[in-house]
Every structure is written in structure tokens, then in C-alpha cells.
Amino acid sequence: MLFVVHRHHATTRHYDLRLEVDGVLASWAVPKVPSLDPQVKRLAMRVDDHDLDHADVEGTEHGSKIIWDRGGYDADAPAAALAAGHLRFVLHGEKLAGGFVLQHTRMGGHDRNWLLLKVDGEHADPGRDLALEEASVVSGLTNADLEAGSES
Ligand code: MN
């Protein structure tokens, strides 16, 4: 199964985490950069599913959007796990790797709110600041590169 994280600069800058589940990309908007530190919890707001071909999208159609990370992921029965509000999954990306959890939360009073956490163990890396790693894993371009290009 496929995962992709878009770094998306629209009215706000955020990261869109997308997991292939039952033929679509289940999606969450993550306002802060995903972390490899198991002590860090990131708010992840569930948004509309996207078509699978959106995993290839990079461009300036709706703000600037790059493929910040992409790869395979493993999970047992992810649709059922998401319906139950708790998904454990293992990412095989270039920036994000190893075990993660998406946990549905009532925090904030919104049904769309989940928490994204890194599981301790292999690939946990509290000292690595992924905010500094801005480039697409596909094109090598940053959001700023795309924005500069779209003005000319
Ligand atoms: Mn977005």
C-alpha cells in the first residue's frame, strides 16, 4: 500500500498525510511537520479522501504542493482500524520510516481530530528536525521553487 505526504502551502502551510485504504487516499491535514520523536504528538485533521492518482500531484493548482515524502506502508486491516479510531502502521519513506500511530481524539471537540505519533524503536530520531528538509523526494523542488516558477 502507498503513502504520500504533500507539503502544501495554500492559505496555510501544512502537510497532507495520505494513506492508501480500499482504493482511495485517506487523508489528514497536519499543521506542523511530522516528527520522528516519540515524545511529540501532532494534530492531524481528517479531510476528504483523494483519488489514488493524487499521489503523483506536484504543482501550483491550489497553492503550491510538493511530494514531501512517498513510499509504501504496512498495516493490518487499515479500514477497520480507522473505523475503530486507532491505526498502527509502518512507513517506508525517505523521511518518514518505522512505526507510527493515528489515534482518534475528542480533544478540541472536533470529530475530525486525530493525533499522529511516532512509535519508539527503529527509525525513531528525536534529534532530526524534518522542518529543515523542505524538498520534494520526486523533483527536488521546494514549495518556494514552485511559487517562484509560477510567477514568471
Ligand atoms: Mn492540503
Q: pLDDT digit string (tens) for 40-83?
A: 999 999 999 999 999 999 999 889 999 999 999 999 999 999 99
Q: pLDDT digit string (tens) for 107-126?
A: 778 899 999 999 998 899 99
Write out the residues surrounding ion ligand 1, Cβ under 5 A.
8, 16
Mean pLDDT of the residues in the chain: 95
CA of 71 to the centre of ligand 1 (A): 19
User: Residue 28's closest CA among 37, 38, 19?
Assistant: 19
Q: Report how far residue 124's alpha carbon sits from residue 96's, in angstroms, rounded to the nearest whole number.
A: 9
Residue 152 has pLDDT above 70, yes or no: no
CA of 44 to the centre of ligand 1 (A): 12
Q: Report how far apart, in Å, the C-alpha atoms of 117 and of each of 11, 129, 149 are.
A: 25, 15, 35
Give the total number of structural domains in the chain: 1
Q: Please indicate, yes or no, if residue 152 is contained in any of the structural domains.
A: no
CA of 28 to the centre of ligand 1 (A): 8
Q: pLDDT digit string (tens) for 81-110?
A: 999 999 999 999 999 999 999 999 987 788
The residue range of the domain holding 25 is 2-147
Cβ-defined contacts of 103-111 (< 8 Å, 24+): 108/43, 110/45
CA of 137 to the centre of ligand 1 (A): 18
Question: Which cell numbers hold the place of 39?
Answer: 515524545
Question: Which cell numbers hold the place of 118?
Answer: 511516532
